Amino acid sequence: MSTVASGLTTTKAAFIEQAQQDGQLYIDQPYDLYSDENQETWRCLYDRILPKWEQFANARFMHGLEVLHLKRDAIPKLDDINRFLAPLSGFKAKAVSGYVPAFLFFDCLRQRSFPTTITIRDGQALDYLPEPDIFHDVAGHVPMHTDRVFSDVLVRFGEVARFAAERAAGVAGGDAEHIRCLENNIKAMARFFWFTVEFGLIREKDGLKAYGSGLLSSLGELEHSLTSPAVQRYPIQMEWVVNQYFEIDHYQPLLFIVDSFDHLFSQVDKLETWLKDGKLDHVSPGEPAVNPADLESFLEA
Ligand SMILES: [Fe+2]
């Protein structure tokens, strides 16, 4: 397989395969490897979703697009983005070669780094996403990181993850009940992250808007999430969120609303209190399953 021919297309990039084989998780963005087709895919994704953003994205996201100079013309360079982002929130997008185990991911957030996929989906299958790509990570997540309060939410969430790891410390390789509690903690945190950072809605002056990046990077689901009568939309409730399973292979039937990012921040505080109190040790079973690499990452923290 030629590197040039495959460019940096998701699941087909020789550069990424090599980095993974070499055990390199954190990498540079090899910008010259993007093929013309990769660049065309970015323009196409951007052009078709822009009118939906104007209608359904929250105000901070739209502001973020502007201040980061995110444009349709070309796949963004992470170095450029980081230059604009640094003075706003101290966050930076950090290129990774693939899946980042849960604790490492959350701990990066605590340190104001966002593990960022640099490949882009196949131009022949714009709506099919086998895994995150740069459009989801940079166009979906990063504009939100320009907001001070929202970025503090991510840092605070990373602190909660660290607390969960510390709480589990000393039981590594130890008794099964403690490991089961940690698995429940991870499940609860994953659910909270899913229903907020990935699929959250916010109440604004002119109605509900999306702030979750899973919505903001999906042409079809963004509109569906806010207009379909079939979607259940409720004010966020911790007791519901941490016990609610979710499935990733279809549009979300249930979404939760925050009143502001300060409100969201207060919910992360609450998540930590619940963790300390042991309320997250026995959450409802079901998705997401906690994979061994995620569990290991917490035990090794
Ligand atoms: Fe995401």
Is the pLDDT assigned to residue 1 strictly greater than 50?
no
- Lowest-confidence pick of 123-137, 218-232, 245-259: 123-137
Q: 70 C-alpha vs ligand 1 centroid, how far in Å?
A: 18
Q: 137 C-alpha vs ligand 1 centroid, how far in Å?
A: 6
For residues 112-117, average pLDDT:
98
**Rounded to an integer, what distance in angstroms lies between the CA atom of residue 293 and that of residue 17?**
19
Query: Looking at residue 2, what is its pLDDT?
Result: 43
Q: 175 C-alpha vs ligand 1 centroid, how far in Å?
A: 33
Where do the H-state alpha helices sit in 169-260? 176-193, 213-216, 219-227, 238-241
Query: pLDDT, tens digit, for every residue of 8-22?
Result: 999 999 999 999 999
Q: Residue 248 corresponds to which amino acid?
A: I
Q: 98 C-alpha vs ligand 1 centroid, how far in Å?
A: 13
Provide the whole-model pTM: 0.95
Q: 132 C-alpha vs ligand 1 centroid, how far in Å?
A: 7
Strands 207-210 and 201-204: antiparallel
Is the pLDDT assigned to residue 227 strictly greater than 60?
yes
Q: 117 C-alpha vs ligand 1 centroid, how far in Å?
A: 10
**Rounded to an integer, what distance in angstroms lies between the CA atom of residue 116 and that of residue 158?**
16
Q: Is 3-299 assigned to CATH 3.40.50.300?
A: no
Is the pLDDT assigned to residue 128 strictly greater than 80?
no
Q: 207 C-alpha vs ligand 1 centroid, how far in Å?
A: 24
Q: 136 C-alpha vs ligand 1 centroid, how far in Å?
A: 6
Which band of pLDDT confidence, cut at 50, 70 and 90, is reported for residue 174?
Answer: low
Query: Looking at residue 171, what is its pLDDT?
Result: 56
